[in-house]
Structure 1
């Protein structure tokens, strides 16, 4: 994939250089109805368009990276929320088991305490 990207980039550079070298005639560039000073040849117009395209692509890349980062953060937060919920459920289950064990232990102690008292009573 990287190799393919490099080949496409190299082809774009070669095409750009060919356009610049072929266009030697005079040109006039206007933006919003005003003439742009310093641009008098067709190759200068082409280079200006190339710079604008590069800035556009950089902006799209920054937006894409920001979107991707936001999606990763949302996914990570969702995973953490799910993990936290599972942890709470596990702790709640463990708490119930410990309460049941404590209740059984207390009942066992009450039974042991009442049994010797009954044996000591002469009948």
Structure 2
């Protein structure tokens, strides 16, 4: 017998893991992936509630025009708790980073000048 959370379509940890793997596969499909990655992609997470009590995480990425954002992906099933949806979205975002120390990278020139020889305090 399914519990109440399964009946409402709430995503479990296995679904969140599948979401993260799917995000990693999406990154592999980025053209020019052999190009040196030089800047962090500007990806944002937000949680949407299209119907009361049904929360979905959404990943968006800033376009070349800073005022435009495009949707990268979103949760397929809803979460009953806003924080659970947010945490699953963070796990999906982590899937875009090939190296957790560097974050999700994009090909092309750096958007800002390089740090000086010494890092800020």
Determine if the TM-score, normalized by the shorter chain, exceeds 0.5: no
Greater helix proportion? 1
Question: Which TM-score applies when normalising by structure 1?
Answer: 0.22
- Greater RCO, CA 8 A, separation 6+: 2
Bigger Rg over Cα? 1
Task: Name the TM-score, length of structure 2 as normaliser.
Answer: 0.22
The structure where strand makes up a greater share of residues is 2
